[in-house]
Structure 1
């Protein structure tokens, strides 16, 4: 019996290792470090399915080329699916499955790590101590206890973040059209989006990217926020209008900005550009602000999360190759 072959795009050594550890004998992987795009889609020639990540492109053109090569099964190694043209996939009768939840605690804990690092300026203190500079000037932070944190999106990650924040004795309010009883049980309170903007000392984004949430944080939203607000995004880069954020960093409306995602990250993140001259002037401008902290989409990156991603991905592949219902299908 021939093996079911899967082309894995945007793969890194840690992806390869985790997938190989969880796979079954009847699945064979072909690993490609390159992103899946219109230019690279022909690399999938001859496989039964493709496995992709957050910055791979699955627009109508790519999907049509895959279908023409006889490939009609796509598995995502992530929860978000904003990079997939689902209407085109449906028209082409292609199956698409994702990993809807993988260690929400991983992203929640990274969110808190960003918050505390930026607040207490741990990154700056670390560098000072290395230079034998023990001055505390400029390192003052604030108590998280008693502060109001606004959570936009109360899915599994939003709830996990809330649970940690409540441990710090922070007041947590949230906006989400779909209210969570688990969030309420933690002592959280649902409010309108405008009330959240107006009352929050810290705002953390945990919602999916969709046409309604694209550039959710824009000039109008930022003008409603408190002066010196802290803004954290560990969800999707395009939730934030970067030019608006830069404007409000300059006028000091935003006192702190922490990003683990970036709207144009597909050309930057997950690769070593330390010897390159970056051409993204907007990203370079963000790096000039002393109150901005950026990590390269590593919120998900824990051993536990990688194991869960691989396990669910393999389960999805097995369901799709057997042509049986897959609970994670889109």
Structure 2
């Protein structure tokens, strides 16, 4: 089965090529996380939505014109040789570029789902290039099924989008964490995720002058990819202690989602989180934050109404006020 779709976007072919090949641009419309080795024979892995990742190999690359790559969902039992193939061709058009996507080699049972998927994501590409922002992806908001690593990917998407909205003027603002400005909290977040990545055996690279969202993505993507490959069984040596893998995954959730709230609150932005995700992370927090951790890593739980939204109950459980006082 073959899917053949074309859309017009109001950018030139070189800009269009960047949007379909560069991780920081793919995250704007297509992926939660992306690893790309853009060369013939190079591989890629994209987390399309939390819990759903695709990988493949680049077969042909013509910058500004064309790219061909294999496509295979992780976890599929079919041999790699049976992967389907995607060809994206870029043709100059009046005022922009025609983007043609041809997805070949799909099984009949895959056609409807992939057609829906490409309609969704090509629509987001058009929105991004015409308005400057594709918006948060509803498909990533409330993952189902869910576990500690899938929820971490959903929380990462929220954290990345929050950081992408910050400006240089925001860096000195006070966050709900009384010891941290926005700039200081970012360094704490990068350091925390990097330490988990290193414990998982990942070589972490951080460019301190890169865009804020890119800095987080560059340490979070390899960390989560390594965690997914390892699984949630057993323990992880964090250097200071041997912790259950589930506890380390819980920490990732709290780092991404609670600090996203910190950044948004510090800069008077509204954080949109699906209740199913904030409720799930609240349950993880209750299994992670022991009374002995209060006063050191976490302040005492603050009080909110029992009817409060799950995100408000989550941040209150971590010792934050629901507004900066």
Range class of TM-score, shorter chain: under 0.3
TM-score, structure 2 as length reference: 0.25
TM-score, normalised by the number of residues in structure 1: 0.25
Task: Please identify which structure carries the higher helix content.
Answer: 2
